[in-house]
Amino acid sequence: MPSSTYYAVLLALVLGVGCGTPSKGFDLTDVNQAKINKAIPDAVLRHNDTLFVAFETACGNIVSRIFAGKQWSPTVHVTANSPRHNGERWDMPKLVSGPDGNVWLAYRSQVRRRIFFHRWLGEGWGARIDGRGIFWVRPQPNGAFDEELRPIANIVVEGSRVHRSIEMRLTSSDESPVTQTESIPMVDLKALPGEGVIFIDTRDVSETKGLTWKAEFPHKHPNNPLLSPPDNPAAPDAVRVFNRGTVLQENGRFRMWYSATGTNSPITPGQPARSWQSYMRVCYAESKDGLRWKRPDLGLVEFNGSRHNNILSGIQRLPTVFYDERDPDPNRRYKCFGTASPVTVEKGHLLISADGLRWQLQPSPRNYPGTRPYYANEFHHVFRDDHETDIAQRWKAYGLFATGPMRRASQLNTSPDGLHWTGYPKNPIIDPLQGVSHCIHDLLVWPEMGRYVGLQQVGDKLHNYQWDLVVSRDGLHFSRVSDGQPFLRSGKPGQWDHGGLQASVPVKVGGESRFYYGGREKPWSSYPADPKEIWTIKSHCGLATIGIGRYAGFRLSNPQQKGILITQPIRCDSDHDLTLTINAIANEKNTVSVAILDAVSLKPLKGYALDDCQPLQSDGVQLPVSWPNDKRIKIRKNNPIRLQFELHGEQSRLYGFTWRAVEGNGIDITPQEDEG
């Protein structure tokens, strides 16, 4: 047996990397380290005083073990719970020391044609981070784009302290290989008013002990559906309600713009031959509490011989509405990026309004310097990105991006003014192979606590869609928070939302995020669907809620023990006194305490140890933390810190934290985050 094969087999035995229950393995204390490195050079890493080993199992999973304190840890199954495509394997593991002081693990999926990452958090690997892959695009004579990721033949992963990033060079397996470089910047946490963390991923964590990170899911409102098609067959929304829409809260009321259809359709006898889009319309509803909705009689559009309806003029479908309080012209403060009439790829449009009811159309050109969409694409959510330093990309629009007749993916467009748009050259930013579902459609993204959080429509070939939750640090590279478990899922057979779902970005009300969504009563049974299904199956509007920022969080692995979490270093860029608020669930028997540590020595600052903290004993998204010097935190510039959290009790949860500012009399002066 060749020596390299011998040591590979030996290492496999040690790791217990079979497809079933891991074996206890052998002791590697006396095994020659140089020979192991020679056998598998990219799967072995010595980091400080710890040896890390990663290996691909026979059934295509990635496992790891570490050697520290003269003994091997139990086998950690990194990908065992990751849903797969048919025939998918995880392979080519690489280990690298990151400039953040953590060990990073990279591996490949040749089916998805991308690499994935995890960070070591002391007891296990953190949440998966999706890498991109080798982007390649080729125009076709019919106007479509042969857009895809190339097969990956080789991966080189390095940690760069100069650029504070993980650098990866990917080489394709083509006859003429293509090489591309991607990077993952390290997190840069700051102690500034309004800054903070939500643990929707684990990038901000340095290490944990006794804790488990889990995704969480919204609860559907018990009074669903909240708005249904009326019994009147002559109503403009007698069949579909909320076939996409927007809900905003302003001046003590909730406002809803929604796509709708009535009983008149292409299959109705006597109707003129015209596009299916022309049978859609946008309607309007209002509510004082966001639960009980009314359709006001607007009198703007004649329908079925009457103006007594709630139809809006000027908008045909897909109302993506944004209220721009900064526009100096009050006649332009309501902006809608929905459809008013057929558009071409480059000639889009914007609708503007002073009241959100009466709309005017103006051209809004779109430029595509890279991949062009096959047909006019759709913006599903638009917002002004106040964290964007490049003025030319201050506005962002996310949505559907088709590169061929049936090839649907997701896009990003940017703009300096919300009027002139440029497509990201490497669109699509999310392709069908990235997640478990091959069929994707809409993408809605919004800013939240320095992250780009999004809903990705996923489904089957029949267009029966649910919604995944995705997250990004740069607005370009998105990772699924819980791959294979929809964030917003269809109801059971017989329920009002058993068929495909349409969603909208959340509305923040009190301590909860409200997701208004449309649900079809039945799934489509074919696609292109039977016209009778498309135009007769009713859809309604309902509500699903989750605590603000509580998309994922930490809980105890063993309820009988305590759990510890230490953050990445936090730079103090302000000489203001600060307060700290925590997003957590706690009570008298399930407490959360906080310490402030020196970032280097990991010793608590005087007066800010765990024993000094008054334990949190309530449920809230902004629970104030107190130490002996009250709530004020006196930390100064150029003194990086870390936060240490200690959880007790099986019901305790930790979701994030936020810094807030105080002045002289101790009044909190931190501005509220712009909810877009």
Q: What is the mean pLDDT of the chain?
A: 88
Position 3 pLDDT exceeds 90 = no
pLDDT at 123: 94
- Residue 663 pLDDT class (50, 70, 90 cuts): low
Position 332 pLDDT exceeds 90 = yes
Asked whether 291 and 223 are in contact (CB, 8 A), the reply is yes
Position 126 pLDDT exceeds 80 = yes
Residues 6+ apart with CB under 8 A from 636: 572, 575
Q: Which residue has the tokens 């006649």?
A: 331
Mean pLDDT across 58-70? 90
pLDDT at 274: 76
pTM above 0.85, yes or no: yes
**What is the rounded distance in angstroms from the CA atom of residue 263 to the CA atom of residue 233?**
6
pLDDT at 351: 92
Burial degree of 69 (CB within 10 A; 0-12, 13-18, 19+)? exposed
What tokens appear for 262 in the block? Answer: 């009535």
pLDDT at 342: 60
Residue-wise pLDDT for 358-385, tens only, equals 999 888 999 999 888 888 888 999 999 9
Residue-wise pLDDT for 519-530, tens only, equals 999 998 876 666
Residue-wise pLDDT for 222-258, tens only, equals 999 999 999 999 999 999 999 999 999 999 999 999 9
pLDDT at 19: 59
**What is the rounded distance in angstroms from the CA atom of residue 328 to the CA atom of residue 499?**
43
Task: Please report, for the chain, the start and end positions of each structural domain, with discontinuous segments joined by +.
Answer: 3-186, 219-547, 552-668
pLDDT at 377: 80
pLDDT at 339: 67
**What is the rounded distance in angstroms from the CA atom of residue 633 to the CA atom of residue 668?**
13
Count each helix (H run) and each strand (E run) in the chain, helices first.
Answer: 3, 48
The fold of 552-668 is Jelly Rolls (2.60.120)
**What is the rounded distance in angstroms from the CA atom of residue 539 to the CA atom of residue 237?**
10
Instruction: Report percent pLDDT > 90 for the chain.
Output: 67
- Residue 662 pLDDT class (50, 70, 90 cuts): confident
What amino acid is encoded at 630 in this protein? D
The fold of 219-547 is Tachylectin-2; Chain A (2.115.10)
